[in-house]
Amino acid sequence: MNRPEELKYIRLVRFDRTYLQPSIEEYSRTFRGSPAEYEPYRLAGAASGLERYFLAQLLEGYFWLALGIALDLFPEEAAQLLVRQRFALVFPELPAFLRSWGYVFDPELTDLIMTAISQKEFFVKVSLGEFEYPVKMAPSFQSACLMETRFSRDLDGRALVTALNFYYDDLQRVFTRVHKFDERVFNDLENRLDFPSGSIVRGFLKLLEHMSSFGFFLEHLVEDTSIELRDRQLLQRRIKQLCGRRVRWGQTQAYVPLNAMAEHLHLFVPHDVRKYLNAGSLKSEITRLLHTWREDVSKDQDIGSTSHG
């Protein structure tokens, strides 16, 4: 086997170990493991929320694999075996999951997995656009994947993603029920979903950092003149699609709770520190970031409606 082939196998093994395997293990352990061990989740009624979170995470892993194959960075035959191993349990559950929660993914990706399910093939060749010089994009793909893997491991980030993606109504109610922001109302929601106190707000901060890093990444990906323009745009589009459920909330309904959190975030800062804070500038910085994404996504949708990958 030549060296480039070896590198493909190494990438695949490591992607599995850091992304897919932990996701499937969390999914299986939490909801198919010992009931006694995970009783708190069940009692709090949060099991279904986390179950959805991990299923969505697994699906995202599947799409990363598909992109890695399109970029010729993963060995296709081995990826087939890997998917068969990791997804055998969850494939039958996916149609029901996607019927209810498919909106968290880009429609193109949902189509991809539904085609795979209907054809009873773990991987199907579906044209999502071909890269002209895929090998040049290995560092960018790797960097984006690293960024996403790190965010997916963050427990607070999980709390926010779960609440926003799957408990949006509850989150929204928090803001409509109170005229003045009340930390206790937030804590009630967290208790109900069995997240540790403060995790949704901490997750929000984590998300802001992630949005900032992700924006930096995308902005500079487009500037990379060493890659063909078409390839750059296609990679940018694919990566945005993949990470959509995390970072493209600016445009979606989730903008409302995120913006409301920005409004009141300073209340979570300890009192002795709050005197140093300029709450106005803090809020404006955060809303600026949210707005940037909102505008960015609008732009993408305009582009997407005229040219589709």
> Nearest approach, Cβ of 64 to another protein (angstroms)?
13
Asked if 291 touches another protein (CB under 8 A), the answer is no
Stretch that binds another protein, among 90-98, 131-139, 170-178, 240-248 (CB under 8 A): 131-139
Of 73-92, binders to another protein (CB under 8 A) are: 77-78, 81-82, 84-86
> Nearest approach, Cβ of 174 to another protein (angstroms)?
20
Asked if 71 touches another protein (CB under 8 A), the answer is no
Asked if 159 touches another protein (CB under 8 A), the answer is no
Asked if 278 touches another protein (CB under 8 A), the answer is yes
**Cα 65-241-250 angle, rounded to 5 deg:** 145
Cα 32 to Cα 299: distance, rounded to the nearest angstrom: 42
Are residues 148 and 87 in contact, defined by beta-carbon separation less than 8 angstroms? no
Closest alpha carbon to 152 in 193, 74, 206: 206
> Nearest approach, Cβ of 83 to another protein (angstroms)?
8
One of 155, 209, 299, 303 touching another protein (CB under 8 A): 209
> Nearest approach, Cβ of 274 to another protein (angstroms)?
9
One of 127, 270, 305, 306 touching another protein (CB under 8 A): 270
Asked if 226 touches another protein (CB under 8 A), the answer is yes
Asked if 220 touches another protein (CB under 8 A), the answer is yes
> Nearest approach, Cβ of 31 to another protein (angstroms)?
20
Are residues 175 and 26 in contact, defined by beta-carbon separation less than 8 angstroms? no
State the residues that interact with another protein by CB under 8 A: 1, 3, 6-7, 9-11, 13-14, 16-18, 77-78, 81-82, 84-86, 136, 138-140, 142-143, 145-147, 150, 153, 202, 205-206, 208-209, 212-213, 216-217, 220, 223-226, 265, 268-270, 273, 276-278, 281-282, 285-286
